[in-house]
Amino acid sequence: MRLLVDVGNTQVKYVLQGTKTSSVFSDVIYVDYQTFQNQLSQGEFSQVTEIIVANVHGQEVLESIECWATEKNIACLQVHSSAQAFGVTSSYHQAERLGVDRWLALIGAKQLYPQQNILIIDAGTATTVDILDVNGQHHGGWIMPGVEVLFSSLLSRTNKIVASPSASASLEFGTDSSSCLNHGSWAMTIGAIKEAITQANNLLVLNKVLITGGNAQEIANLIPETCQLEPKLIFHGLSCFKATERRDTINN
């Protein structure tokens, strides 16, 4: 069994995959960093024989994974962005500077929908947008604050706005500061996504708009006719890689 791990900016997401050739994954599990480290140490993944990991956070979780893999003699690979892989070519001049989560989403999109022009939205701590053409060429994208960051950043820079975060996503006009700021943050995100679609269609004719990430379901609910939900997109990218040796490329 393979463990595919995405160490994000605010939490860990992972799935279990039967084999490298299997397209069947478990549901995506979202946990905080400490919970994931506890799961490693408490034998939660005793059936795992290989681990593939992407990391946009610090080294603490990676070090836990490395120690666990060493102790269990399990093959382990940390994936890094590159200029080209699995039919996808990066638009970045310094390919390694493209966030590995964005890179894996591109690879996952290529695997799921070959020969299509695709706009990929990853809505989490940051909301990122990337465009991929039928030939696997990445044409760049945007990085924007995520919904929660939009909300909290304005509160941190103002003295008179008193507001509390809300779990509900809405584009309705608010009637108090909390609803105005919450709904405004969603409206900004939706507006940016719609503009990204316009810009992408000016470049090429889109076949798909895929959305993934922690806020993907809420955004898909707000514009259901626009986006196709793909919660496991990054894991489809991760699943392309194989750890051929124990502790393959876990490094600082």
Q: How far apart are CA 83 and CA 225, in angstroms?
A: 33
Q: What is the residue-wise DSSP string for 141-196? A: EEEEE-HHHHHHHHHHT-SS------SS---SPPSSHHHHHHHHHHHHHHHHHHHH
Catalytically active residues, by annotation: 101
pLDDT at position 250, please?
43
- Model pLDDT for residues 123-141, shown as the tens digit of each residue: 999 999 999 999 999 999 9
- First-residue to last-residue Cα distance in the chain: 26
- Model pLDDT for residues 105-119, shown as the tens digit of each residue: 999 999 999 999 999
Say which residue the tokens 């999109």 belong to: 109
Looking at the chain, the whole-number percentage of residues with pLDDT higher than 70 is: 94
Q: What is the residue-wise DSSP string for 202-229? A: HHS--SEEEEESTTHHHHHHHSTTT-EE
Handedness of CA 92, 227, 107, 116 (dihedral sign): negative
pLDDT at position 187, please?
97
How sure is the predictor about 20, in pLDDT bands with cuts at 50, 70 and 90?
A: low
User: What phi, psi does 48 have (nearest 5°)?
Assistant: -80, 135
Q: Is the pLDDT of residue 249 over 60?
A: no
Query: Mean pLDDT score of the chain, rounded to an integer?
Result: 91
Q: What is the residue-wise DSSP string for 49-104? A: -EEEEEESS-SHHHHHHHHHHHHHT-EEEE----SEETTEE---SSGGGS-HHHHH
Q: Is the pLDDT of residue 241 over 80?
A: yes
Q: What is the CATH number of domain 115-231?
A: 3.30.420.40
- Model pLDDT for residues 185-229, shown as the tens digit of each residue: 999 999 999 999 999 999 999 999 999 999 999 999 999 989 999
Handedness of CA 64, 70, 76, 80 (dihedral sign): positive
Segments making up each domain of the chain, as ranges = 115-231
pLDDT at position 59, please?
85
Listed residue (46, 42, 36) closest to 5, CA to CA: 36
- Of 165 and 45, which is predicted with more confidence? 45
Report the alpha-carbon angle 185-187-190, nearest 5: 115
Q: Is the pLDDT of residue 159 over 80?
A: no
Count the residues in the chain. Answer: 252
pLDDT at position 21, please?
65
Q: Is the pLDDT of residue 149 over 90?
A: yes
Global confidence as pTM: 0.91
- Model pLDDT for residues 46-90, shown as the tens digit of each residue: 899 999 999 988 788 889 998 999 999 999 999 999 999 999 999
CB-based burial label for 22 (10 Å; 0-12, 13-18, 19+): exposed
Query: Do 249 and 100 form a contact (C-beta atoms < 8 A)?
Result: no
β-sheet bridge partners, residue 4: 15, 52
Helix (H) or strand (E) holding 139: strand 138-145
- Of 250 and 153, which is predicted with more confidence? 153
